[in-house]
Amino acid sequence: MIERGLELALRKARGAEITLHDERVSSAEYEDDKLKRVSASQSCELEVRVIVNDRIGTSRATDAGEVESAVSRAIELAEFGSEARFDFPGPAAGPAVKTHDPRVEQTSREELVASGGEMLERLKAYNPEIKVSAETAWSLSRGRLVNSSGLDVSADYSTYVGYVSGMLVRGTDMLFAGRLHYWRSKTLDAAALANAAVQEFRRAERTAEVSTREMPVIFTPRGMQVILLPLLMGINGKNVLKGDSPLDNRLGERIAAAGFTLADDGTVDFAPQSAPYDGEGVPRRRNAVIRDGVLEGFLYDLETASKAGRKSTGNGPGCGASNTIVSPGAVSFEEMVKSTKEGVVVEQVLGLGQSNAMNGDFSVNIALGYKVENGEIVGRVKDAMVAGNVYDALPRVEAVGSQQEWYHTMCSPAVKIASLSIVAGQ
């Protein structure tokens, strides 16, 4: 059917690409201490891109049987589409990266229910007052990409997800804490995940006072989203090409403290964004972005690369990052805390991406964070914000942690910034 679509497209188009994804998802969700729902999903996504007179048109459908009408819609749209001075890539060997664990789709609904239940029980055992939500889920996606340059690649992708969170209400005070495990292979350790969530509640048992002023801030691996999300906008090749990124003229310059190294890597076995090819059939790879504080490169897709006079980095379409990896440093999290006289540990925030993130600004509520006094965590910080600018903060990285941890598509150690503005509430 896909071949037929390609043939049809090439009667009018000089290039064509057809992508098909079939996905199945199975999940079990607990809310407020109870198993609330079990779900099964089946979906199909067909995407057609054609290049006609050096312009691109895109169409989508949810039924592979619609390929012919999708092709004619894409051709009709291409007349008005964006300029495409590139060709779809021909066959090239992608990295030997693992993206599918057959144990994932063999997991029964009963097992999902049971492992969610185990996480719930562990949080309840620590404190029965905590209201627990949990989710366990898997997905299996079969993808195929065929284009007019002779590329025809297929791959299976699995994901296995575990999530547990709790809410503790005392008067009008509510505390949320939780943990997420998201990986392409079936490696969820439900007990360990629940124990990590319990650890967060333990640390937050006491609250501590914080006053409005500049102080050192330690971002945990999860808290590092505050720094990484604006930075990922800045290294997106399209934002660079359009002049939106504050990094556009800074290639080769020092933008972060020595010791801060960041890569985009779509070739880590079983990592959430890993794949042999990106969405345009370009092999995924590891891209050095910041090496020892120096900006080394941006991320590109085919269209943007052709306009910027570069090569695709395997981040198409859209120039978005695959997996973001911050290299580990030498200092343990404990040592980082120990060396802090007065500061804040930021674990989870509220309001991410609402500031002028393209400019690097952040101003977020600390949903879960801890006060450090004289080298010790003394309690949870409440009603406070942390604010600053990523591009001001990166040169002031004081320490990079030795222990990396994954959160969604980001893998980072804890990172300590010499000082940031903390604004305390009433």
Task: Show the DSSP H helices in 151-272 as ranges.
Answer: 190-203, 225-234, 237-241
Residue 388 engages another protein in binding (rule: CB under 8 A): yes
Residue 208 engages another protein in binding (rule: CB under 8 A): no
Contacts with 6 (C-beta within 8 Å, 6 or more apart), sequence order: 16, 18, 146, 147, 148
- Which of 54, 105, 361, 373 is in the footprint of another protein by CB under 8 A? 361
Tell me how far, at minimum, the Cβ of 47 lies from another protein, in Å. Answer: 9
3-state DSSP assignment of residue 60: strand
- Which of 391, 393, 397, 413 is in the footprint of another protein by CB under 8 A? 391
Residue 387 engages another protein in binding (rule: CB under 8 A): yes
Closest CA to 153 of 65, 96, 93: 93
Residue 311 engages another protein in binding (rule: CB under 8 A): no
Cβ distance to another protein smaller for residue 32 or 374: 32
Q: What is the CA radius of gyration of the chain?
A: 23
As a whole number of angstroms, the distance between CA 160 and CA 104 comes to 7
Cis peptide leading into 317, omega within 30 of 0? yes
- Only one of the segments 89-97, 221-229, 242-250, 319-327 lies at the binding site for another protein (rule: CB under 8 A); that segment is 242-250
Residue 350 engages another protein in binding (rule: CB under 8 A): yes
The C-alpha angle with vertex 251 and arms to 246 and 256, in degrees rounded to 5, equals: 70
Site for another protein in 106-165 (CB under 8 A): 109-110, 113, 129, 131
As a whole number of angstroms, the distance between CA 82 and CA 76 comes to 13
Residue 309 engages another protein in binding (rule: CB under 8 A): no
Cβ distance to another protein smaller for residue 222 or 285: 222
Other CB atoms within 10 Å distance of the CB of residue 335: 15
> Locate tokens 């609904």: which residue?
109
Tell me how far, at minimum, the Cβ of 179 lies from another protein, in Å. Answer: 16
- Kindly provide the residue ranges of all beta strands, DSSP E only, lying in 63-151, ordered along the sequence: 131-147
- Per-residue x/- track, 81-100, another protein (CB under 8 A): xxx-----------------
- Per-residue x/- track, 41-70, another protein (CB under 8 A): xxxx------------xxxxxxx--x--xx
Cβ distance to another protein smaller for residue 158 or 363: 363
- Only one of the segments 211-219, 319-327, 372-380, 397-405 lies at the binding site for another protein (rule: CB under 8 A); that segment is 211-219
Cβ distance to another protein smaller for residue 244 or 373: 244
